[in-house]
Amino acid sequence: MTAMKTPEPQTMSTSALPRRSLRRRFRGPIGGLILFLLLTATWQWVTTAGIVHRVILPPPNEVAAAFFTTFTEGFFYGHLWITVQEVLIGFVVGIILGFSLGALLGTSALAREISYPYIVAFQGLPKIVLAPIFITAFGFGMMSKVMMAVAISFFPLLINTMSGLMTVDAESVQLMRSLTASKQDIFWKLSVKHAMPSIFAGVKTSLTLALVGAIVGEFVGARAGLGFLLASYSYQLQVDRVWAVTMVLALLGIILFLFIEWVDKKVVFWAKRGVTTDVGLA
């Protein structure tokens, strides 16, 4: 009998490793570019073929021209800055309110039993009905839009903060107490750090909702802002301008979201990525 020849182990060539690394690095951007080209081609086809009327969806070349024209007009930057201020102020106030209430409800069962049903009822209320109330109370200026941003954005962070604090390991808390740690030390050095991935997931959601709240407030009643421009262009049937401002809002949301994501990676560097929020949005 002849001895069976064992197969030699296959080794990956060193030249294949860089190629695979390059494929991983560029797979996302290339795939995104291909998807963008496919969507643009489909967009062009449905408009030129008459499937969707130009009044509803202008061709991409007209929207692109309106987009670049918008940035050459001096008045545009004043409207953009007003909306950015409303979003940032509403976002900061919203996360302070959301974190504070979430911390209270996450650490106190009594506070949770008393106030949580009312908070959920407020979240179930369609926020558009609050816009006339805020305009009546605060006028057509920036404050009413900030209040709309706060009203929409605080709830995701509240829920994520509360949920994160309630999942702290009881044995870890007992260990901290055995080391004579104070309640403040347990809260900040254990509970908050444990809940930080969930908190930042809520922060990301709150930021996008703050932008929604500011634009909703500008739709209902405003004298300036990107929402005001959208309403004005819509009344004038300048649909290409409407789509151009919509693209600006999308870019603004992406920039703000990427900034928060960068802060998340710097602050919560130990956490696994992919934490998402399961909060129902209004």
User: What end-to-end distance do the CA atoms of the chain give, in Å?
Assistant: 76
Task: Kindly give the parts of the chain with pLDDT less than 70.
Answer: 1-28, 272-282
With CA atoms as reference, report the closest residue to 154 among 206, 85, 102.
Answer: 206
The confidence score (pLDDT) of residue 180 equals 82
Give Dmax over CA atoms of the chain in angstroms: 98
* Domain locations along the chain: 60-267
What pLDDT shows up at residue 280? 43
What confidence score (pLDDT) does residue 241 get? Answer: 92
User: What's the pLDDT score for residue 91?
Assistant: 95
Provide the whole-model pTM. 0.79
3-state secondary structure 64-89: HHHHHHHHHCHHHHHHHHHHHHHHHH
pLDDT at 11: 52
Rg, the chain, Cα only: 25
Cβ distance 148 to 213 under 8 Å? yes
Structure confidence by residue, pLDDT tens digits, 132-156:
888 888 888 889 999 999 999 999 9
In Å, how far from its chain's centre is CA 218? 19
pLDDT tens per residue, range 113-122: 898 888 888 8
Task: Give the pLDDT confidence score for residue 270 in this predicted structure.
Answer: 76
Query: pLDDT at position 6, please?
Result: 53
In sequence order, which ranges of the chain are alpha helices (DSSP H)? 16-48, 60-72, 74-107, 109-124, 130-138, 142-166, 170-178, 183-186, 192-220, 226-235, 239-267
pLDDT of residue 5: 54
Tell me the fold of 60-267: MetI-like fold (1.10.3720)
